[in-house]
Structure 1
């Protein structure tokens, strides 16, 4: 075989290898790794998986059971986005940990509510009753604001979402506030008189906001759950993800599946 023929074969072979490598690289660029808590966030993401697949985007869902690691993993580049938190929590966590994160799609609201395994009404609470709330800053403040709305406590003027138990200025029943990791709150119901539980953890525990809650956040709650991304990330696949998260298919799924415990925000 002549050198010329060998050269042609070599060029063709290299071109084929390059083409395959380019195709593999292109496919890899369409993979999105998104962190989410199991309910309802991962469930919603599974609805959008086939919608993204039609556009050539593979959505890989990485499930987390806490409120800390998803943001750290996003900031480090281990994730392309996450979907588990509301805007105040994202902003507070980013500031506290000096993370360069932002959000795109506003997807849904999960009303926070008071649950109890020992009482049927808030009026049944006795003096010194133990009330468990989330121990992270924004959700803890949100829980205290809910207890204030329920008439159980009064907070110092203007503290808002930054409220802590030290900001309680009136506590007629001398309620004892117990701060726990948000994910542990449903399991605490047998140990405390009541707990203020985030919607996603209530759902995971089989609790119904409409059936089981003693007191619920109003429908105008500002705590919209969002798709979080790194600031400056221009990946067009993230834009596609934001679009499908605000689709009619997602809205219909939320309304049909969660019976008021999760409310579309679009």
Structure 2
């Protein structure tokens, strides 16, 4: 009889431990769910995300913006789990990162297209670029290709069409002005303006440098049906793409009042594409 009681007591304790453990797991999940959603962004100026963050706060979703100064680190941080999402890059840039690093980040929503621009501190029009001038362009695969295609659209060079959207300097097939191309990290092309004739600068970096792209660029990238690879996106890890909280964030971003903020803060330089 004593043995039976002892066995019953052990079973009771085991069940109690199971219940306690289960409750502890639920509590941990709830705690994790209540943590801020960390979103990686590039640059100090993030009025649109500040607006979305404020909207979501009233809906019980807390966002923490994690700011970066370059275009490589936010993807590494997301892949390693230091971020929940990031929002700074084009689809083609993400695809290039995945291929180079063996990752599987996914675009879960489109945001805006921010046209690439040619800027200069010495000329006012692209037609003023002369023989042997030096042009600074971004050095990562997707942005280098995009910059070269922009220079081709501006009539300065021609590139091998077989390279489609990712040509590199070596793929230039015609360079009538014998231009020299200085490839730099995207975060440095604005700073190089004093040392080159012109510089191809990403919109976000241009804004941080004090430019208004639609007013200050000597040549601005046209937006056409073929621009889809250059749409900016909200990006997550593949296993998190259907996260319900992330869907709330997308809904808050892809709203009419957000469009108004985009238009106001970018002075028309960023175009919503959802």
Matched, 1:264 2:272: yes
TM-aligned CA distance change 1:27 to 1:56, over 3 Å: farther
Q: Equivalent residues in 2 for 1:172-183 (5 A)? A: 172-183=176-187
- Whole-angstrom distance in 1 between the partners of 2:232 and 2:47: 14
2:221 corresponding residue in structure 1: 217
Contact 1:39–1:203 (Cα < 8 Å) also in 2: no
Contact 2:134–2:182 (Cα < 8 Å) also in 1: yes
Scaled by the length of structure 2, the TM-score of the pair is: 0.86
Contact 2:190–2:199 (Cα < 8 Å) also in 1: yes
The one-character-per-residue Cα deviations of 1:149-206 (angstroms, maximum 9, x if unpaired) are 0000011122122100000011000000110010111110000000011100001001
Shift of 1:39: 5.4
1:113 corresponding residue in structure 2: 117
Q: CA RMSD in A?
A: 1.9
- Whole-angstrom distance in 2 between the partners of 1:156 and 1:107: 30
| Among 121, 124, 127, the residue aligned to 1:123 | 127
2:238 corresponding residue in structure 1: 231
1:71 corresponding residue in structure 2: 75
- Whole-angstrom distance in 1 between the partners of 2:102 and 2:24: 41
- Whole-angstrom distance in 2 between the partners of 1:164 and 1:181: 14
Q: Equivalent residues in 2 for 1:74-223 (5 A)? A: 74-220=78-224, 221-222=227-228, 223=230
Shift of 1:208: 1.4
Stretches of structure 2 that go unaligned for 5 or more consecutive residues are 1-18
Shift of 1:25: 5.2
2:15 corresponding residue in structure 1: none
SS of alignment partner, residue 244 of structure 1: helix
- Whole-angstrom distance in 2 between the partners of 1:19 and 1:206: 53
The one-character-per-residue Cα deviations of 1:31-63 (angstroms, maximum 9, x if unpaired) are 2111001255x3221111122112211101100
- Matched length: 249
Stretches of structure 1 that go unaligned for 5 or more consecutive residues are 1-14
- Whole-angstrom distance in 1 between the partners of 2:135 and 2:126: 11
Shift of 1:207: 0.9
